[in-house]
Structure formats: C-alpha cells, structure tokens
Structure 1
C-alpha cells in the first residue's frame, strides 16, 4: 500500500517502463470479453496455457491466481463478430475465430517457427484481403481510439497494466495540485457532455453537486445499460475498469463525496467481476478508502447489481433501486445534484463519461478538444448491429458521418443489400432514412432532425425490412419496460402498440393512423421520465419518413413482404409443372391440383408460412 503520492507516482512510472518492455516480449493475448467468451475464448485461453507449459516455451506471461505463469488476458477490442481473437506480440499477428484445435498449430507454427496461418488471419471487410495485424484492418484504421486505448494488448484484470498506460497519474495530479474548483473548470472547458444519452454538460453537473449543501454527498456510476444490442458500457467495464474507477475517485474528490456506488446490471457478470477486482486492487494500493495517500481525502465505493429493469437507466429510478425501493422515476426538480440518494446531493454519470475524466486531466483540454466538433468534442463509443459485414463496438470522433461508419468501418451490408435506414439512440431512438446518412454524428445535428445520440446504439436496416414492423418491434420493448407509474407511458405505449399491431395484421384504417400519431405526441409530451418521453420516437420518425408504408398497410399490402398477415402466395400457372412438391410440403393442406394442370392455393386455408415458396424448384409460387 502506498502511503504518499510520491510513492504511488514512482510505482506508476516503473510500471510504464515495464509495460513498454512487455510489449517487446514474445507473448500471447487472448480476448476474454463477453463476445469472445461466448464463442469459447476462455477454453482457448486454458488450452494455450496447457500447450505452453507442456512445451516449456520461453514465452513472457502474466500471473493467474498469483501462482503460475500463463498466457495474457485482454479485453474486448470491439470486433465481436470475429471472436475468439488472439494477438501475438511483439509482431502483432492477430488471428480470428480461433478454436481449441487451432491452439497447438498456432504455438508450433507461429510461436516456435514464426510462420503465419493464412486461414486464421483477419479478412479486411473493405478490401477483402487477408491482413496480419489488428491495427491494419479497415475496421480499426478508420476509428479514433481514445477511450479504447491499448486495443488488443490491455490486460483487463491488472491494475499494473493500467498504470503502465499512465493510469492513476491524473488522480495523483488532482490530489497534489488541483483544487475542486480547478477540476470543475477543466471539465467545463473540455466541453465533455454526458455519454449516457442526454448530452448534458458534465462540468455543469459537477458544479451543481459541488455547490449543493448537504452533510453527505454521493457519486454514482450508471452502468445499467439496458438497450438491446448496445454493450459499450459493458465492454469498457470489462476491458478497462480502472479508467472508470479513476474518474469516479476524481469526481468524488471534486464534489466532496465520501461514498460511491457503481450500479451494474446483473446480466453483466464479467463486468461486475472486473470492477469488483479493480476496487479491491485500488484499495490494496491505497488509492481508495480512508485517507487516500495521506491527503486526508477518504472515499469508498461498492458495486450494486441491478435486476435488469430498463427504467433503472433513468437516474432517479436508479437511485431508488440503490436505496432498496422499487425502481421507478420521480418528478424533477429537485435534481439528484440537489437531492439524490437518501435525500443527499448525488452526482450521477455513466461509464463512458467517467472514463473520459482522467484522460482530460492527463492530456489537457486543448489536446482533448482536437477530436470531435466544437459543441460535441471528443469521441463516442457506438454499438453497431444489423446485416453488416462487421458489427460490434466502435469508437469515432463526433462529427463522423453515418455513411462513413456503415461503409468505411463496417464494410457495408452482407449480400450487397441496399440500406434503407438506421435506427439510432437505442430502442427509443429515431429511424433515419438513407438521405440523412451524410449527417455528422453529434448531439446537436441529430437533435435537429428529431433524433439523438442516446446510448450509442446504431441498427442498420435494409430495404427488405418493413418500417411499420420496425416501429412495432421497438415499441414492444419499451411498453414492456414501462414501470407503470405514469398513465401516459403505461397506457399510451400499450394503446400505440395495439394500433401498430392492427397495421401489421392488415386491419388498420385512416382513423387508426391519425390516432397513432396523436397518441404518440401525447405520450412524448406528458410522460414523467425519459423512457416515456422517448418511447414514441420510432413511431414518430417512421411516420415522418416512411408514411407511405403505413398507407400501403392500410391498403392491404406490406411493401417488403415482412408482415405475414399481409402476404399472399399465388401459383403462376405458366410456370407450374404440376410436380405436387408444394402440396406435399404444405402443413395446412391449402394447395391442391392434379397432374397436367396448374396447382392452386386456397387463400382461406393458407397461413402464409412460405414453405411452398421455399420448396418450389421452378419459381412458380409468387408473393404478391
């Protein structure tokens, strides 16, 4: 344990030297993030350990359980669709989709003989060529790594590795030479905006909490990332927990807090494990707890696991949950900065916001503002999903266009399908058509077209998708996640969903269209919290940009053929060969005919399952 700032600084500088040396050593890094773990990376990791030990190779390794030498663990690099990923240093050779059967071959050929295994190399999403190094992939070259520094080589479980990247130097600087007011002014000057979705200026929130009167103060990290398909916070907590922890300790010193909570949803077991270890390691070194480094500043922190309620992403509902109450929002004001946990002033920021703090203090405001745009400086992590060649977590500067992300980073769509729209900002985000793809991604630009950065989720939507069904899909999630406290959200989302179902079932009228739009506006205006106020966004945005599809549904047709109830399969008599294959495959017995004559489909019996369409070898069955 360090007792003084100088002791800690000397240790950190030593770790920086050691890390530089480690990167020159022959070593193996295996990604153990959730995506790679789901594909078996931890078994691959153990296999590497067994093979290395068996062969007695001179490979520099870290320590597991402080007992034996093994291969190193690294956190998620964002390319989740290609895991398990293995990186071999110092050459930087990176292999994808590594299986247990590949491990001995990698050790024998690449580690022992320096040979490449062609089939395991990454294939560039844009050029289609095999590449040797992770950093040479177009997916990575076209990103701007700031928060996600140390891609492929950051050792997620070791505080020493974080220190080797300059970690905790910002905390030492703050404790030794900066007053709380100076820290606040630095954060304000940086222009950092909350990464949780609202984009509120972080420095102002810190200032409000600092000036608030209270016997106690709290600092809270909102890691209740509940958006389907969004996992930026989880990734950051798994790969670099100390960056978040350092930001929280600096925040506590600045606003005068003595206690903190990291609210992490229980579905993120690896993130919970990593952050708890980070807390324990920081305490052992005297960076957390009583009288930190002899400065007289004390701060303690613990993890609270959320039960998975989406509404607990709203800060007042989150605070209620920490207090042991039902997680429902309350009216504001008062805001948490004035009256938060147990009635005391409370600072709440999300994972990515805290992760920016130490780097701003370390690198300086001017350096930080080199990235991004004037009113949205810095970088942002986004989670990109959908039918794209590459999906996962990316980090880009604010101001990067949507099209650049989809084409230059993710490589465009699979099978060459044309993109029709994106849905951005989580399940309550807006749907933007292709004509907006050249807009820069930043808070104010998106707001100008009734969209939002939100949590940072981007879902690619291709031309074979039905936008009415897209709206119904996302509203189905938000209506189920409504806490039920306020009538507009509880009843409004349910009634809106019922109307959308009428559209997808071919039962909607022009009156339903008017009612849907009117109801969505009421829910947006009258709901108590952010969940209800943003839940109608998929409806309002699709009505604005894809109204013609709603009209076609009223007229009994789904233009993409997605809505099953509006499908109609018919047999083209000119193409039908009377083979009876479709009739034999039909589970409802809806197809009849006889040899030498075209078969027909009884529309009353047909359930639109499409089996006949798939089975016909002559393309005689058509979807109209």
Structure 2
C-alpha cells in the first residue's frame, strides 16, 4: 500500500484554483453531472458505502448525516461548510480552500441537489483572508460557467454560495457555535436538542460538514463509494489529510490512506525528527488531542483502532515534539490557549482551564505537592462529564494523557528538577 495517495488533493498545485475550465479538464463537475442524473437516495447510498466519516474531528458517518438531513421535512434547507479550522496544528482545510476550492464547491452543490437546498455558506476563519478571496473568485467563476446560481447545467436547479468571515474564536469550530456566529450572534454553543439538522441556521434544517468532508464527495460520487472505501480500512474509508508539524524534517499536509501508521507518517513522509534529536511525544488531533509515546507509533490511522487505544484522530493534526522540550512547559502553552479561547458559557470549561493552568504553574516553579495530582484528576473528570460542548470536554485530554505517560516529569518538577533544562532559573537538573 502506497504511503500517500492523491484523491482529493489530485488538483492541488496543478490548476489555477478558481479556473473552472482547468478544473473540468481534470475531472471536475463529472460528479455533479452524474449526481443530477441519479435518485437522491442512490447518491446517499454511495456516500454511505464509502465509509466517509466527518473529517472535522467528530467522525460522524457522513452518509448517515445526509440521510437524516434528507428525511427531515422543510421547504428551506441550508448547506453550511465549516472552514473555521481553529484547532492548533491544523491547516489541511486551507490547502483545499487555496488550491482546489471548486472541489469543495462541487461537493456542496451535490449536497444541495440531494436536499433541494438553494443556499449555502462557507464559514472561513477571519485569519484566512487570502483564502476567502480565492474562494469568492471560484464561486464567481462557477456561477459564470453555469455550475452555480440559476439553471445549473441547464436545469431548474438553483443553488448559491456565500462566504462568511469567521470572528476569530476557537469555539466556533463547534458546529452550533458556528451557526450562532453565522447569524451575527456571539459564537457560543447552542443547547441541544433541537439539533442543527432540524433547527440550524435561522431555525431551518441545516447540513454542516467540514471542508475535507465536502471535498471527498466528488470522488465518491464519480468513482463510487466502494472504490473510495477500498483505500482505507474496514472501519475507516478512503484517505485522510494529515497535518504534520513540530520537530520533524518535512512539515506539511499529506493525504494518506487509512491504515497508514503514525511511524510511517513521521519517519517516511516527515523524514524523522529534525536535527538528529530523539522523539519525546506526539500529540494527535491538535491541542485538544492526546499526547502519546514512541511505543504507540505503529498504531494504524483508523477511527476504530484509535478508539480502542483510547485516543482520537480528531482533525488530523500530528505534532511531533523532541526530547529537548519539557512536558510541563508544553502543557503550559496548551492551557494558556484554552484559557484564552474558552467562550465562558459554562463553568467547567471557563474555570477548569484556569485551575489546570494554575496547578501547572505550581509544577513549573517547584511548589506543587501530591494534593495537586488529586486536584488535576477531579478537574479532568468534571470537565469531561459536565462541560457544555465537545470542545470543553476535550480540553483536558492533553493533560490527562501526559499524567498517564509522563508522570515522571511531573515528579521531577515537584522536587524542582527539569531533565529538559527548560525550567527553574536556578538551573536545577
């Protein structure tokens, strides 16, 4: 099995991103033409056969989500693409937005045809100003060439897409918070039920998928769900965009088939640890993901295998950290981020992250005691069980995994020692 395969990134770097003629010459809009000559449920069946799971991090079966959206009654339905991409270490959606936005647009248009939707939105994070410009050009060109707007492909099918600018908050990566922000409100998660699929944007049935998810649809429809699935594993169909960053030689975005191991990603694609250093940890899934050790690198990229190991693939971020870094210092940066980005709606997340950071600071300055381990575990449990949204529930994951795999470093710091030599101004090691 090849380490890399280009299914949804096949056009990246090959075509002008907003040139419809070049996109069509490379197989673009073949899927839309095919879908518009199929029954909606037959298209959904292909998506279900593909075993495509939501690529934003939640990994909900896309075909099931589309079927549920199809079965919900309503004269007005919206298609929304979550392109906020605020998870640290994640930059794979930007590759699609910048280099092949028409693939995303085609996937959304197919969804619109299935659900009889006339309006779609792409919510792009505010920091991606250039990406917004490229996507808007692609939308304008698609409309000019008859692939968006009225009378798509000479039929009475009408669908329009509008780009929305994100407001800069990490929490709007959560779909209901994104919907709130799209309506011009503060980006905070909604109470559920009702669920977005029933009462989403402007209280209308709404389908929300990630950029990578929509981008996979054109391949699935044109080539068939089973073919797409064949690139992956029994439980995880197709390919995954992986964002490799940190202390690795070849950083970047790679499209790999499910079943590829983390070791292959880091050493074969990434070229190994930079500057001849040794690996300390790998954080998978962004700042809200688990930190794992080298003995777990042969774990195959598969939602089922990761779940059995007690971790999550999440957004697809793979952050490599070498042994010159201190785990306590590493965690301090993560929880400063979470303290800053908590929307403040619920007490467990708002206060829990502050308390985690306060105790980490105690370890960093050598004033922690055994009681702090107990306090850590209490906070982790409360946040996981009672935070209002999934982001608050996931926030303590990095700490929880580091306590499991790097307890010795916490103990070192408790007695004012830092084997990495990064803490304590006195220079204790």
TM category (shorter chain) comes to over 0.9
Q: Name the SS for the 2:8 alignment partner.
A: coil
1:244-263 aligned at under 5 Å gives the runs 244-263=104-123
- Does the 8 A contact of 1:207 with 1:255 survive in 2? no
Aligned to 1:366: 226
Aligned to 1:404: 264
Counterpart Cα distance in 2 of 1:502 and 1:512: 9
Please say which structure displays the higher CA radius of gyration.
1
2:43 aligned with 1:183? yes
2:30 aligned with 1:169? yes
Q: Name the SS for the 2:127 alignment partner.
A: coil
How much has 1:313 moved relative to structure 2?
Answer: 0.4
2:250 aligned with 1:384? no
Counterpart Cα distance in 2 of 1:467 and 1:398: 29
How much has 1:190 moved relative to structure 2?
Answer: 1.0
Aligned to 2:312: 452
- Does the 8 A contact of 1:504 with 1:566 survive in 2? no
Aligned to 1:148: 9
Aligned to 2:155: 295
2:340 aligned with 1:488? no
Aligned to 1:226: 86
- Does the 8 A contact of 2:50 with 2:227 survive in 1? no
How much has 1:565 moved relative to structure 2?
Answer: 4.4
Aligned to 2:420: 560
Counterpart Cα distance in 2 of 1:566 and 1:350: 48
- Does the 8 A contact of 1:252 with 1:299 survive in 2? yes
2:396 aligned with 1:536? yes
Q: Name the SS for the 2:249 alignment partner.
A: coil
- Does the 8 A contact of 2:13 with 2:99 survive in 1? no
2:68 aligned with 1:193? no
Q: Name the SS for the 2:33 alignment partner.
A: helix
How much has 1:566 moved relative to structure 2?
Answer: 6.4
- Does the 8 A contact of 1:195 with 1:353 survive in 2? yes
- Does the 8 A contact of 2:416 with 2:424 survive in 1? no
Counterpart Cα distance in 1 of 2:231 and 2:180: 36
Aligned to 2:275: 415
2:69 aligned with 1:203? no
Counterpart Cα distance in 1 of 2:387 and 2:123: 24
2:408 aligned with 1:548? yes
Counterpart Cα distance in 1 of 2:173 and 2:50: 25
Counterpart Cα distance in 1 of 2:106 and 2:352: 42
Counterpart Cα distance in 2 of 1:358 and 1:321: 28
* Structure 1 unmatched ranges of 5 or more: 1-140, 569-623
Q: In the superposition, relative to structure 1, how do residues 150 and 296 fare at CA in structure 2: closer, same or farther (>3 Å)?
A: closer
- Does the 8 A contact of 1:556 with 1:566 survive in 2? no
1:423-438 aligned at under 5 Å gives the runs 423-438=283-298
Higher relative contact order (CA 8 A, sep 6+): 2
Counterpart Cα distance in 1 of 2:347 and 2:399: 19
CA RMSD of superposed structures (Å)? 1.3
Calculate the TM-score normalised by the size of structure 2: 0.97
- Does the 8 A contact of 2:46 with 2:226 survive in 1? no
Q: Name the SS for the 1:170 alignment partner.
A: helix
